[in-house]
Amino acid sequence: MTSRILILGASGQLGQALLAEVGLLPATIRSLFDFIPRQALDLTDRTALKSCLQKHSPAIIINACAYTAVDNAEQHIALAWRLNQQLTAELSQYAKASGAALLHFSTDYVFNGLNQRPYTETDRPAPLNQYGKSKLAGEQAMLDIAPAGLIIRTSWLYSEFGHNFARSIWNKIQQGEALRVVNDQTGSPTYARELAACCLKLVTADNFAKRFASTQLMHCAGSGQASWYQFALEILRLSGRHVTIAAVSSQQWPTRAQRPAYSALSSARLQQQFGLSLPAWQHSLARCIEKMGLSE
């Protein structure tokens, strides 16, 4: 493999996870990657984006950029749609025209939460909030333009990097803070490092562009499911500390954006077609918490 791979959004949570996992690859493969952090490229500037793409001339683009502040997206609608839909369309158009392949990430929040079983790729999306709507529109733009590439939907991303639920709960536990956590929303907690490692296996294979000659959609999330409350209890158990965590309902913890009550994802298609899957979320969380503890 000699083609270059460009990662956009290298300073975000998923971008940092990708950077960490690329660092574990053999030097000959590591040398193929170019990382563009958010501060180095104004993603609202179409001219700057086009210039960046032409400069690096990647064979594969990994788009780790997104507007992920779910509640803020209800107020900053234009920016959320710019980063989640329009940017995806522009990257898809560039990939289609240049012959590059695109790996793009989406979310479980494209669903309305009425399922009683993990969502599959064939389930009908019906997002409840602007974040989910803008991410679904990004998916649709890529599917319509149909460059070589893959859309990966994931769920409840967390890691030792950036701002996320696991880090927030961990830090509050370390401070001895009593917590109230929602217990009526269920999803598939996904460790960003393991998602990144899985995606890198796909894009560094010699036949990535041929395997995904026209855009495909797959789910990749941690195995199993949990409520935010169950997730927090497991973080507490792994911390070895003693603080109170009270379960509350979504009505007792109102947020600006409505969230699906159930958004666990089935990653069976990825497992069946490529033999790839992520571990049980409890196992993955233990790995992440260990890294958080070492970084204290």
- Phi, psi for 45 (deg, rounded to 5): -100, 100
d(CA 157, CA 179): 20
How many Å separate Cα 254 from the centre of its chain?
Answer: 24
- Phi, psi for 188 (deg, rounded to 5): -115, 95
d(CA 50, CA 56): 10
d(CA 243, CA 222): 26
- Those residues with Cβ within 8 angstroms of residue 226's Cβ, 6 or more apart along the chain or in another chain: 186, 187, 188, 189, 234, 281
Which amino acid makes up residue 213? A
d(CA 257, CA 269): 30
Q: How many alpha carbons fall within 13 Å on the CB side of residue 215? A: 24
**Catalytic annotation present for 191:** no
CA dihedral 226, 230, 231, 234 (to 10 degrees): -130
Q: Give me the catalytic one of 131, 158, 191, 262.
A: 131
Name the helix (H) or strand (E) containing 187: strand 186-187
Work out the angle between the directed axes of helices 281-294 and 228-239 (0-180°, nearest 10): 50
d(CA 96, CA 264): 32
Contact status, residue 82 vs residue 151, Cβ threshold 8 Å: no
Catalytic residue ranges: 131
